[in-house]
Structure 1
Amino acid sequence: MDVNITEEQQVEQIKAWWKENGKAVVLGAVIGLGGLYGWRYYQGEVQAAKEQASDAYTQVINRLESGSADAVADVQAFISAHESSQYSVLAALQLAKAQVTQGELDAAAEQLSWAIGNTQDAAILPIAQTRLARIYAEQQKFDQAMAELDKVTAESWQAKVAELRGDMLLQKGDAVAAREAYVQAQQLGASPALKIKLDDLAQ
């Protein structure tokens, strides 16, 4: 703005600029504020949905643990309704655990397979994979059990995986390979039961 023009001329220039650009300024402010409030609203809705899923998860798992007649159907309905949430994966793990207790190994394997396919959580995935491997071993499907154990890549799980592999090989009747797996597990990190297992094989 020219410093030599009069105050009245400055006012006129400001009016002219506002007339030309005012709508864009107001519109920009409205859009900006709208976006801010829209984002906050969205975040609030996401948080509310998480809290609702958490409450619903707690309710269906409590019913499952209490042995309610409709509990299995309730958990399955919860999983279907919250497929995009990790609560559905946790629910599938709990349902599979209950099904194993009832001797429903095929149903439990199906739940665990679904959980594995629907999570990338590094804390959950190895749990589901090793549980599924145990079920396959219980069903005498040793090749599938070993293949499932091979999928567990987390470093912190390798000792446990080696020990489980030893258990399965022993169950299969291969004591030599089982001992090798136990020795590997011992090198990676011994469990309280591992020494007993090795001592038993040495006898």
Structure 2
Amino acid sequence: MELYDSEEDQVLAIKDWWRENGKAVILGGVIGLGGLFGWRFYQDSVIEAKEAASDGYSQVIEKLATQGVAASSQVESFIESNKGTEYSVLAALQLAKSQVDAGELDEALAQLEWAKANTQDTAIGPIASFRIARIQAQNEQFDEALSTLNALDSKAWTGRVAELKGDILLRKGDKDAAYSAYTEAQQADDASQDIQFKLDDLAK
């Protein structure tokens, strides 16, 4: 049994259906196409933004390499303009390095603390923390440096953290604690070649 008695009934049924549902179909199609083109536009915008950030990062790092801290304001402007990207964090790390080389330790510390607080990369956090501890130790903020190192729990940094702890404890005059820290560092996978010399010096 056919649903419609004639071809004319079928045409009329189609017309009725279109009259009731046509607008919804058209609207759905427009929305669907708009979403598709919108998503593609968004993806293109993201790619362009990443490329622009990458180019900008390369430019400011080159200026840092040639001009040193004289390029600080340009690097800081790049960081401000690219907050939310790892390029800004990497730029802060590089700027901090230049500032340390120039003896601007407080400025370097501020950059490293900002990088640590704003990175989404689990590999960058320990780098920033370790460099913060070194600056704190250089500023003779020994307890603060040890506290920073104690909070750095990455296994990949065990040897370097223990060695720096030993250096700090030695500067504080605690030779026994320094020797223990150096021994721990020597047993780590990332132990440096200097550890044995440090242990030998303390054993004398």
TM-score by length of 2: 0.94
Misfit runs of 4+, over 4 Å: none
* Counterpart AA for 2:182: Y
Other-structure match for 1:146: 146
Q: Distance in 1 between matches of 2:138 and 2:2?
A: 89
Other-structure match for 1:92: 92
Residue by residue over 1:39-82, the C-alpha shift from the partner in whole angstroms, topping out at 9 and shown as x without a partner, is 11011101101110111111111111102674111111111111
Contact preservation (8 Å) 2:136, 2:144 = yes
Contact preservation (8 Å) 2:93, 2:111 = yes
Which blocks of at least 5 consecutive residues in structure 2 are unaligned?
Answer: none
Q: CA deviation at 1:180?
A: 0.5
Deviates more, 1:69-78 or 1:37-46: 69-78
* Counterpart AA for 2:202: L
Contact preservation (8 Å) 2:166, 2:181 = yes
Q: Distance in 2 between matches of 1:64 and 1:98?
A: 7
Other-structure match for 1:165: 165
Q: Distance in 2 between matches of 1:77 and 1:26?
A: 48
Other-structure match for 1:8: 8
Name the SS for the 1:67 alignment partner.
Answer: helix
Q: Distance in 2 between matches of 1:70 and 1:182?
A: 38
User: How many residue pairs are counted as aligned between the two chains?
Assistant: 203
* Counterpart AA for 2:37: Y
- Work out the percentage of aligned pairs sharing the same amino acid: 55
Contact preservation (8 Å) 2:69, 2:99 = no
Q: Distance in 2 between matches of 1:57 and 1:86?
A: 10
In structure 2, the CA distance between the partners of 1:69 and 1:123, relative to structure 1 (3 Å rule), is: closer
Matched, 1:62 2:52: no
Other-structure match for 1:195: 196
Q: Distance in 2 between matches of 1:86 and 1:29?
A: 38
* Counterpart AA for 1:202: A
Q: CA deviation at 1:159?
A: 2.1
* Counterpart AA for 1:152: L
Other-structure match for 2:114: 114
In structure 2, the CA distance between the partners of 1:196 and 1:5, relative to structure 1 (3 Å rule), is: farther
Q: CA deviation at 1:172?
A: 2.1
* Counterpart AA for 2:27: L
The root-mean-square deviation of aligned C-alpha atoms, in Å, is 1.6
Which blocks of at least 5 consecutive residues in structure 1 are unaligned?
Answer: none
Name the SS for the 1:152 alignment partner.
Answer: coil
TM-score by length of 1: 0.94
Deviates more, 1:24-33 or 1:59-68: 59-68
Q: Distance in 2 between matches of 1:198 and 1:52?
A: 49
